């Protein structure tokens, strides 16, 4: 049963990823990215990471994806036409398509070879089905306190930097 759900969600994720790769309208790609994020969150749940799945949905779907869609809408092409899909279309030259597919398939083959030739010997036993929130909270406040604080400072710096960069300093342009 669990394996069937795993297959369904991984097929959904990969299909949405391939849709981003082949779609020529970037807005459709952004909405397919939504499906990818939901599928990845489902894979997290199947791997026993419930807190991470919820934060994935909140941060990626609620924050990053909305930001990306705003970015796409603010950087449309200028020309006017009746075709509503015209503004966000991305023309891809054939040479770059070939190189992209060759790189992707080559790296995939290499990774497959590495994954199936390696023999993973796990140190601990499998996780039992209990909530991970308590462990994550305790670990964040004890042994991972320094990275936690650094992440807070990084977010503050990124916030100030992004606000400063996005300010319109020359209103004539």
Could you say which of 8, 85, 86, 127 contacts other proteins (CB under 8 A)?
127
Could you say which of 14, 86, 131, 145 contacts other proteins (CB under 8 A)?
14
List the one residue out of 76, 75, 6, 69 whose CA is nearest residue 34.
69
Of how many residues is the chain composed?
A: 173
Site for other proteins in 134-173 (CB under 8 A): 135-136, 139-140, 143-144, 147, 151, 154-155, 157-159, 161-163, 165-166, 168, 173
> By C-beta, is 19 or 82 nearer to other proteins?
19
Could you say which of 8, 105, 141, 145 contacts other proteins (CB under 8 A)?
105
Question: In this structure, what are the phi and psi dihedrals at residue 47, rounded to the nearest 5 degrees?
Answer: -90, 5
Q: Counting contacts by CB under 8 A, is residue 57 touching other proteins?
A: no
> By C-beta, is 80 or 124 nearer to other proteins?
124
Contact call for residues 41 and 85 (beta carbons, < 8 A): no
């Amino acid at each position: 049963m669990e394996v069937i759900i795993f297959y369904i969600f991984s097929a959904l994720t990969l299909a949405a990823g391939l849709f981003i790769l082949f779609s020529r309208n970037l807005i459709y790609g952004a909405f397919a990215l939504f499906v990818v994020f939901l599928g990845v969150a489902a894979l997290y749940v199947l791997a026993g990471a419930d807190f991470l799945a919820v934060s994935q949905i909140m941060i990626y779907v609620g924050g990053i994806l909305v930001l990306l869609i705003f970015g796409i809408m603010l950087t449309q092409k200028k020309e006017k036409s009746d075709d509503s899909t015209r503004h966000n279309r991305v023309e891809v030259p054939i040479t770059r398509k070939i190189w992209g597919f060759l790189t992707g398939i080559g790296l995939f083959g290499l990774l497959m070879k590495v994954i199936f030739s390696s023999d993973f010997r796990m140190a601990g036993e499998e996780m039992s089905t209990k909530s991970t929130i308590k462990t994550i909270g305790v670990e964040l406040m004890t042994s991972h306190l320094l990275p936690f604080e650094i992440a807070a400072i990084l977010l503050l710096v990124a916030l100030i930097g992004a606000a400063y960069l996005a300010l319109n300093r020359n209103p004539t342009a």
